[in-house]
Amino acid sequence: MTKQTKIIIASLFFLIVTIIDVYAVIVQDKTLEMIFKPLLMTTLVIVYLVSVKKPNFWLVSALFFSFWGDVFLLDKTNYFVFGLGSFLIAHCLYIVMTKQFLTKFNVKELLICFPPFAMIFLGVLQFIKNNLSEMIIPVIVYGLVISVFGAFALLNYRQERSKANLSLLIGAILFIASDSLIAINNFYSPKHLFNVLIIVLYIVSQYLIVKAVVAKSNNN
């Protein structure tokens, strides 16, 4: 079996899992969602592993913690904090990974890239702060970390305006959008539409990040 055939088969499995999981969220079928949501990152990491010769440790680790984030958030009532913690680690790993992609690291340039993402975070925080109670510190920490990831992705693209870096940047932005909707959905105004948008944005964001790293690996 050729490498291209493996990639096509793995991608089809990922697409099928994605369609079924999004469908499960739309029709609110919790049983179906419990089966297929953990398969999202499982099939995506397979797509990645068959696409490259030498896997990126930081990406695979981030997908591993994203998997656990997905699992924990299937039961938000009891395991929301664990899900938050898993995705916090995933974002930290993405930050380390993106930093390594930089042609040079300059704190001043990073700070220039930070404000747009900080403004998004502060805007979301304005909506949800009154409902956070004991969750305010974890949410602030999480918001700062995802803002830093966005800043690193933007800096990376500013340094080299390639398709791979644009894919990584868009992936980071969509991930932040998904996380922002989770915060609004949980702490401000729950809506079923938000649940659908959250999962769609999340899947697309993770796929774009993986696509970016695959492109970088193949270019090297």
Contacts of 84 (CB under 8 A, 6+ apart): 69, 138, 139, 142
User: Distance (Å, rounded) from C-alpha 72 to C-alpha 118?
Assistant: 27
Per-residue tokens: 157: 């693209």
Report the pLDDT value the prediction gives residue 76, as an integer from 0 to 100: 87
Flag whether the pTM goes above 0.85.
yes
Report the pLDDT value the prediction gives residue 106, as an integer from 0 to 100: 87
How would DSSP label each residue in 71-110?
HHGGGHHHHHHHHHHHHHHHHHHHHHHHHHH-SS--HHHH
Report the pLDDT value the prediction gives residue 65, as an integer from 0 to 100: 98
Per-residue tokens: 207: 């796929």
Mark the ranges of the chain whose per-residue pLDDT is less than 50.
none
Report the pLDDT value the prediction gives residue 219, as an integer from 0 to 100: 78
Report the pLDDT value the prediction gives residue 148, as an integer from 0 to 100: 97
Report the pLDDT value the prediction gives residue 139, as an integer from 0 to 100: 94
